[in-house]
Amino acid sequence: MNSTRRIAPLLAPSMLAADFANLQAEAERLAGSAADWLHCDIMDGRFVPNISFGLPVLEAIKRHAAQPLDVHLMIEEPQHYLEAFRDAGAANITVHYEACTHLHRVIQQIKKLGCRAGVALNPHTPAWVLQDIAADLDLVCVMSVNPGFGGQAFIPNTLRKVAELKELLVDAGSDALIEVDGGVNQDNALPLVEAGADVLVAGNFVFKSPDPVATLADLRAILSAATAEH
């Protein structure tokens, strides 16, 4: 398999790492940045051991965001809330494989709502579990940390998993984008893209830097230069 990329990946800064007291300002300063999507992690305290934010906060972010909202539902029984999250501003809705007993049905629900439909895989979940549904997916989010908290260290095995997933998607004839979420930074971004990643989610790396806009611009420049060589 040829794992080089001809198109620079999308960048999706994670709002989980933003200043929650100034979400309007955070969204507005990213409006003209290299960010392609704004990644929004929804946590319910049940599927993951943390609670982040819900529908009202997502609606508030949407009012001030220039980019599409990439909504990652780390929640139990997501099928009950899909329409509400679409109405709150989600362009992409990603549910967890581990949280959906009837995953195919949930994916079709998301598509019917007019959103890009994604499935997230926890670090311990192998890529092959998506073999029978790969052709129906628009997005696969590979968790490169254990979901629930920001600021965790990148799990190195993710590189192999992304490559395996890329091969699976190609074999299935799927155009699904591969997104990597957790611990992404300037050291692992290019190896991830070379392995097959299409979307990079970065939280602390962006928002804890002195200048998030400059950090995104620098990352875009590095990745664009590398992909241009191919």
User: Which amino acid, 181?
Assistant: D
Q: What are phi and psi of 103, to 5 degrees?
A: -65, -40
State the Cα–Cα distance between residues 140 and 168, nearest whole angstrom.
Answer: 11
Q: What is the pLDDT along the chain (230 residues), one digit of tens a residue?
A: 334 445 789 999 999 999 999 999 999 999 999 999 999 999 999 999 999 999 999 999 999 999 999 999 999 999 999 999 999 999 999 999 999 999 999 999 999 999 999 999 999 999 999 999 999 999 999 999 998 777 788 999 999 999 999 999 999 999 999 999 999 999 999 999 999 999 999 999 999 999 999 999 999 999 998 777 66
Catalytic residue among 41, 70, 138, 198: 41
Active site residue 171: no
Contact call for residues 145 and 154 (beta carbons, < 8 A): yes
Determine contact, residues 5/192, Cβ cutoff 8 Å.
no
The residue annotated as part of the active site, out of 36, 70, 181, 198, is 181
Mean pLDDT of the chain: 94
pLDDT, position 149: 74
Please report the pLDDT score of residue 1 as a whole number: 35
**182-212 pLDDT per residue, tens:** 999 999 999 999 999 999 999 999 999 999 9
Residue entry with tokens 């998301």: 110
Distance CA 5, CA 26 (A): 30
Q: Is 132 a catalytic residue?
A: no
Q: Which residues pair with 119 in a beta bridge?
A: 95, 140
